Structure formats: structure tokens, C-alpha cells
Structure 1
Amino acid sequence: MLEGNRVSRISVRGFAVASATAVTAVGSVVGVASGSVAQNNDAEAAATDATLLADIPAGQQAQVQTASLTQQADAQAIAADASAKKDAEAAARKAAAETAIAKKDAAEKAAKAAKEREEAAKAASRSQSASAGSASFPVQSSYTVAQIQAMARQVVASSQYQCFSNIVDHESSWNYRAVNASSGAYGLFQALPGSKMSSAGADWQTNPATQIKWGLNYMDSRYGSPCDAWAFWQANHWY
């Protein structure tokens, strides 16, 4: 009887050891997965387990070892799952960052392309205006508003003419001899001083065609186009 009781006690003790060993294994594996160190505890537990296992009958030892190995395998599976989840989350973050960078680059390229198209359109408009501005008009002793406007229509791009006309309306009412009594500004565009229009021709004082060439070049070079110049004029009442 006493021996039977001893075996039962040892068996129970052995399974308890197996459970403790399994718990130790779980803690060790999970601890390693999370970056913690438990080497000292593992060594002590292993030594204790080896001592206790020696007291258990051979038949019981196999059961204890099997239980311990099963628990260790489960712990390793849990650690592997945790590691895989961590790797998947890191990969997802990396993919999201790469996608965001790609979208940003695409947006910047689209904006750059749009700006280049806009600049090309303005350059084409200036080229068209310059080509038309090289046309010659017969010199007269005087010109009517209708004649001056007809000259402007031949020089200014149709898409820009209304803006061009708006500026001339406000500056001189299409009077190519208009003079500002206080400042001395002169001509269709109230150039100050008026002599700066000589860059378009020596007859700037008497020839509206020369003034139109100068005015269009001024708007294109300073603002980009007559409509851009008109937008500035509306905001500031000068250009």
C-alpha cells in the first residue's frame, strides 16, 4: 500500500513537473518572441525537471515527456504565429508607405505636366502675337477708333483680344494721342514715359500700330498674356 501511494504521489508530481516545464517553455518562447530574456529561469527549471523526472517510474516518464513535448510544441506554434503576424503587419505598413509615395510622385508629375502645357500654350500665344505684330499697316495722318481696333484684332490673338481691349478702354479709350496731364503718360496704354514705346518704332507718338505692338509685347513679357495683365489690372487698377 505504501508503495502504491508513493507511485501515485510521484505520478501526480511528475505530471505537475510536466505542466511546470510546459509553462516554462511557453514563457521562454513567448518571451524570446517579444524580445525578453529568461535564460537563468529556463536553466533552473530544466535542472529541477531532470531531477524530478529521475524519481518517476519508466512507464510514467514516457507520459510525462510526451505531455511536456506537446506543450512545448504548442508554445512554439504560438510564438511562430506571433512572429508571422508581426512580419505581416510590417509588410503591410511598408506597402502602404510605398503606395503613398507612388501617389505623391504621380500627383507631382501630373501637376508638372499641366504647368508645362500651360506654359507651352502661352508661348504659342506669344509667338502668334509676335508673328501678327510684325505686319505692317499703312501710315495715315489720323486714325479712327474703329481703325485702331481693327489693327489690334489683326495683332492680338482672338482669345486674348477682349482682355486687351478692356485695358485700352480703361487707359485711354482708344485715343492713341492721349496724354495724362499730371504724369505725362502717353498713348493707348498710357506708357510712362511714353518714349519707352520707341522700342517698337520711332513713330510711337503718331502711329497706333506701333503702340499696339509695344503694348502687346509689354503684356506678354510682364504678365504672360493680355488676360493675365487684365486680371492684375482688375485687382490693382494699374498694370
Structure 2
Amino acid sequence: MIRGLYSSATGMLAAQTQSEVIGDNLVNMKTPGYKEELASNISFPSMLIERMSGSQDSVAVGGMGTGLGVDRLTLSNVQGSIETTDVNMDLALTSPGYFVVQTPAGERYTRNGHFQVDGAGMLRTADGYALQGEGGPIGPISSEFRVNADGTIIDQGQNAGRLRVVEIPAEALQREGQSLYNSAQPVQVSAGAQIRQGAIETSNVDLSGQMVQMMSVMKAYEANQKVVQTQDEMLGKAVNEVGKI
């Protein structure tokens, strides 16, 4: 009886975690370069149940689950839509890969191509992180720079470097903030990166898919909640009524 309460309670906790992930995805639908988070469930170890008879023999009844939890969060590497902005400093990756930026914590990766040129002529993110090229930070350059499809930057007729783009498996991505990522594995330089200037990649969150998942999670939560309430009522009767006999 108590085990049933635990199983239902873990199901409610897993549904709550999933709803939080979905809510985070929906909040960041307008965040450029945001990658949709995916939560997968895992069952706790199951136990083999046996019915004991009067003799030493036992009869196998079957397995019994002991609960449910969220295994891990992964990020979808599906490309978001490319939106034309006609802003010179906006860059969109139209191929797999991530821009590299330098933060106080080390190199981080992003597909948010909303950049700006600071007072020193350095190309930076909106948070002030320096965009990295194959030879280090990009700059100093003017705000009238041009970027070729292969990432080569041309400023005032001169080659100002080439953007460094790396490829990261989805399972290695670790989100830090809204559209900044770290990698749990060594990254590899992308050999065929394609960049479009004057455009930006939007979030890859699928609204309809998220709403379907939200409905499914809500139903799972309500079902487990009813099971908890039913078992609580049965325990109450066992204590208050059966105990009087």
C-alpha cells in the first residue's frame, strides 16, 4: 500500500519537472538561437514479486515498478527558422555548428547571432562576450564589415579574419543562461560552416508540440494525484474503521 503512494508521488514529481521544462521552452520561444529542451523519463529498478504458499515453493507473480523519475535533459539540435533582419551585425548559421565566444568562465558556444561592435571595434554578443575567430577575438573592425558565406570577414577591403564555428553533439550540450552553451565533450571545428549576414536564427521550439506535451503531462499528474488520494482514503479506513473490529 505505502509502496503505491511512493510510486504515484514520484510520478507526480516527474510530471512537475517535465512541466517546468516545457514552461522554460515556451518562455524562450522568442530567444534567438535557443534550443528546445527535452526531458526523458526513466523508471526506478523493478522488483520481482512472488506469492508464498504454505510449502517452501513460491509462485512468481511478476514485476512491480518502484517509481518514476526524469532521467536527463537533452537539447534539440534542430535548426530554427532563419529570419531576415537586414541588420549588418546579425549573423545566422545555416549549417550545423555554434559560434564561439569568450566568457570569464572560458569558451562558450551559441547560435544567437545578434552581435554588436563595441567602442573598441570588437565584435561582441549582447552580454559583452567577444566573438572568436580562427585567430582569436574578431576586431577591431568597423560596423560596415561584410561576412562571406564561409565566415570570412571583410572590412574596408581587407581580410579581418574568419569566424570560428564548432560542431557539438546534442547530448554533450549543457545550457548556461538562455542561449549560451557549454560542452561536456571536446568540440570539433566545423569544416563546412555556412553563415548568412543580415539574418538571425530564431528559437527552434515547436509550439504545437509543446502544447501537446503539456496536456499529456497534466493528465499524468492528475492521474497520479487521484491514485494518491484513493490510497490515502484506503489507509484512513484501514486505520480508523478496520482497527475498531
Rg bigger for which structure? 1
- Fold in common (TM above 0.5): no
Q: Which one has a larger percent strand, Structure 1 or Structure 2?
A: 2
Task: Considering Cα pairs closer than 8 Å and 6+ residues apart, tell me whether 1 or 2 has the greater RCO.
Answer: 2
Give the TM-score normalised by the residue count of structure 1: 0.28
Give the TM-score normalised by the residue count of structure 2: 0.27
